[in-house]
Chains A and B, each alone.
Chain A
């Protein structure tokens, strides 16, 4: 028995070093990449910009140096023929190994997006280090400008944008969603658009950015503090950027994609012209049903919405059910209007199905789909869409009628 045990111990002692701490990577030997941006560089090359955390300045706990705010991040760019090529060249400048697993956001520049995402996305979806849950954005202008920015609230702008995406600003898309949208015939990708906008006055030095005017190379630099802002949605035709949706149209996109989880709808008041009523969306459900009679394709969209009335500038009495119904109808109308706007833009301006209507069609008409999928965008552009909205306001906040109404 003792011999057996000693033998086992020896075997383990000999076997363990064989692995040689295989694939061990000390934390101090890693460069934690928080954000990656890909732009088009001259000569058909790719410009990779990474935002790297500087652990020294993250010293958690007590000894936070007052006074000059140290820069938490280091932004560095490198051109290369492919993303990986650029990343390899980066390692000649960066003393530690690039570690992608904690990349929070991935940003594509406008120019590169217009030429096609596929040339840049493969590395990120193929590399085992890169997470599929990374938030993907398309930048208005250059991705490198967005990456090279600061956040007043979070320690890095990457985390700030990531938190915004997590809380549902715009139409957040993960790398996994993007890959699936790219792989599907039944839909076209959309990516939230981010850009730098002036955002208050910085309290300390070292927090100023160049806000590029998206005007090619004739950029006017504005020296002020700017935060990365979600300003709409980029619409893609296959992998090429086709155009933008503004924030209002993005809401229509959310409704039609059944992604509306929280939001707000403002309508005109019943009584007082120029005054408004705002409703907070607490629950929403969208059902899309396609129909096909051999020639024509049309869709029935049924939206059910539930919300709380939380702001009323006007003074109509909510205790009267007539008013209540009227407000609900106006909300429904407003939702229909918004979705209609987004739909019009997609159908007629850009001619791409970004609402996954094709997938719904595929589910219902499996046999007809293969013949139609290659020209689906044209079919979609001509399809009729009827939108029915059913809005219900369940609560009116802490009061029913306005408190300030004199009896």
Chain B
């Protein structure tokens, strides 16, 4: 199966921080590439020629040759990618030391061609991480991912200096998941910064950050995070197994991975959660979930995902729990409104007028008197108009934003009603639906945004019967799917009584003693008993 033409780098999955896997990967490499010699030669000229050949027309890869001189003139070469390295580090800590300081400062000891490599490795480099490698592939990957490779003449091993330092965006407020109370920061595009944000919250060696490289052309680095001891090992195995199946040319966003490893690929419902909030990821890890962070995107994936999480927000866990219960009920109601209100309106106004109280019916009838369309056409027209406004609101360039919103508000809010094209009641229904769809988690709400339209068709052709059938179909579908082996509607269907304490309501923290049962199967105890605050007892 040739799905793209690759020339140099072998397809492989590399786990960086585990040395065993590293060596197995290296063993595999020669098997895959037997035509070219994939190990370094001891002659720097040969090596440089090979590398130059490989990096031909890569104007950003810099090769810097210089002489490491005391008595013997030893030729050294630095190879790095311009823009991906910390230029100060390369200049000050590597070049300056090697070219000037070390030869001058070590007058007592003789540097020969034979001991030069060891000398440089032990005494000559001022970088934090140095690694030896003689594998050409490893060197290539290092160069391309911001490390600086040092070749020493006469040695078939290169020194890989960690010198990553590319410009990154500053950490900012979360743009998609806003909370009132709680941490503000959100992920950025750099993997290491993101893992650091998690690590800062979960300070334990049990937080495992396994690296993988996916995307055979892009070579995107991703990290699989979990907390050993809490997570179900089978879940980690399953996630890694699904990730290792991926053979694709490139991964530019976590959405690629989400679609490649998710359950129910044909469902409109998300079975993997995504978030740009480190605190949400940390909370998910503590519940025994697995997170996947992809380099180059501020959106992390967590799995498994329950539908009930759609109505949960990070600050639910920080705010008063009575308030949380009320807000979650409100979000559930909003979810129902976002899904069914327009179709309910269509069904009642065009089929079941007897369901309305007489004064309300008269009021709606009065508004609809001048409207020349059937109510379905009217509602559909307004829903589409709103979707257009919403979409243009996302895409439009900032400077013209105000103009567009004014026009939209005027057209929809006033002109359409005054012209008698649309009834006021329809506007209210559409506006309420639109606002309701924003109260819930975004990926959940886009599903309902989508499903609203088929339901409207059903309601317009079969009335309430159609609407109810549609809703039943949706619920049946939701009850039938799973996310990484966990039923999607857990803990509501099937009922997991213990987990209901964090579903529509949230128990206070001193009562949430256990983690979700179906995720953290082996280690569900979260906290000690009897932590409920109480007034001090009189000492007897």
Which A residues form the contact surface with B (CB < 8 A)? Answer: 1-2, 5, 16-17, 19-28, 30, 32, 34, 53, 55-61, 99, 101-102, 104, 129, 131, 155, 159
User: A-B pairs with the 6 shortest C-beta distances?
Assistant: A101-B354, A58-B366, A55-B365, A60-B363, A55-B366, A55-B369
Alpha-carbon distance between A154 and B350 when the two chains are bound, in angstroms: 26
Alpha-carbon distance between A220 and B211 when the two chains are bound, in angstroms: 100
* Inter-subunit contact B369/A102 (CB<8 Å): no
Partner of A16, one of B351, B364, B458: B458
Chain A residues, CB < 8 A from B364: 27
* Inter-subunit contact A61/B424 (CB<8 Å): yes
Partner of B375, one of A5, A22, A26: A26
The number of chain B residues touching the other chain, given as a range, is 20 to 34
Alpha-carbon distance between A23 and B364 when the two chains are bound, in angstroms: 20
Which B residue's beta carbon lies closest to that of A23? B351
Q: Would you give the shortest CB distance from B419 to chain A, in whole angstroms?
A: 14
* Inter-subunit contact A24/B351 (CB<8 Å): yes
Partner of B367, one of A60, A99, A101: A60
Partner of A1, one of B266, B349, B461: B266
Which A residue's beta carbon lies closest to that of B372? A28
Alpha-carbon distance between A27 and B364 when the two chains are bound, in angstroms: 9
Q: Contact flags (1/0) for B431-463 with A, using CB distance below 8 Å?
A: 000000000000000000000000001101111
Which A residue's beta carbon lies closest to that of B424? A61
* Inter-subunit contact B460/A27 (CB<8 Å): no
* Inter-subunit contact B461/A102 (CB<8 Å): no
* Inter-subunit contact A101/B351 (CB<8 Å): no
Q: Would you give the shortest CB distance from A27 to chain B, in whole angstroms?
A: 5
Which B residue's beta carbon lies closest to that of A130? B354
The answer to whether the Cβ of B371 comes within 8 Å of any Cβ in the partner chain is yes
* Inter-subunit contact B462/A32 (CB<8 Å): no
* Inter-subunit contact B463/A99 (CB<8 Å): no
Alpha-carbon distance between A1 and B267 when the two chains are bound, in angstroms: 11
Chain B residues, CB < 8 A from A101: 353-354
Partner of A102, one of B350, B351, B361, B371: B361
Partner of A30, one of B353, B359, B374, B457: B353
Q: Which of B362, B424, B462 has the most CB of A within 10 A?
A: B362
Q: Would you give the shortest CB distance from B462 to chain A, in whole angstroms?
A: 6
Chain B residues, CB < 8 A from A104: 358
A32 touching B366 in the complex, CB below 8 Å, given contacts A17-B461, A19-B461, A27-B375: no
Which B residues form the contact surface with A (CB < 8 A)? Answer: 266, 349-351, 353-354, 358-359, 361-369, 371, 374-375, 424, 457-458, 460-463
* Inter-subunit contact A24/B358 (CB<8 Å): no
Partner of B365, one of A1, A21, A53, A155: A53
Alpha-carbon distance between A57 and B363 when the two chains are bound, in angstroms: 10
* Inter-subunit contact B368/A28 (CB<8 Å): yes
Partner of A32, one of B362, B371, B375, B458: B362
Partner of B366, one of A60, A99, A159: A60
A58 touching B363 in the complex, CB below 8 Å, given contacts A25-B353, A27-B368, A27-B375: yes
Partner of A23, one of B374, B460, B463: B463
Partner of A53, one of B349, B362, B368: B362
Q: Which of A27, A57, A102, A131 has the most CB of B within 10 A?
A: A27
Q: Would you give the shortest CB distance from B214 to chain A, in whole angstroms?
A: 25
Chain A residues, CB < 8 A from B349: 27
**What are 21 pairs between A and B in contact, CB < 8 Å?**
A2-B266, A5-B266, A16-B458, A16-B461, A20-B461, A21-B350, A22-B462, A23-B351, A24-B350, A26-B375, A27-B349, A27-B364, A27-B365, A28-B369, A30-B353, A32-B361, A55-B366, A59-B366, A99-B353, A101-B354, A131-B354
Which A residue's beta carbon lies closest to that of B374? A26
Known: A24-B350, A55-B362, A104-B358. 18 other contacts (CB 8 A): A1-B266, A2-B266, A19-B462, A20-B461, A24-B351, A24-B460, A26-B350, A26-B374, A27-B350, A27-B361, A27-B368, A32-B362, A58-B366, A59-B369, A102-B353, A102-B354, A102-B358, A159-B359
Alpha-carbon distance between A22 and B465 when the two chains are bound, in angstroms: 12
* Inter-subunit contact B365/A34 (CB<8 Å): no
* Inter-subunit contact B358/A28 (CB<8 Å): no
Alpha-carbon distance between A100 and B283 when the two chains are bound, in angstroms: 58
* Inter-subunit contact B358/A159 (CB<8 Å): yes
Which B residue's beta carbon lies closest to that of A59? B366
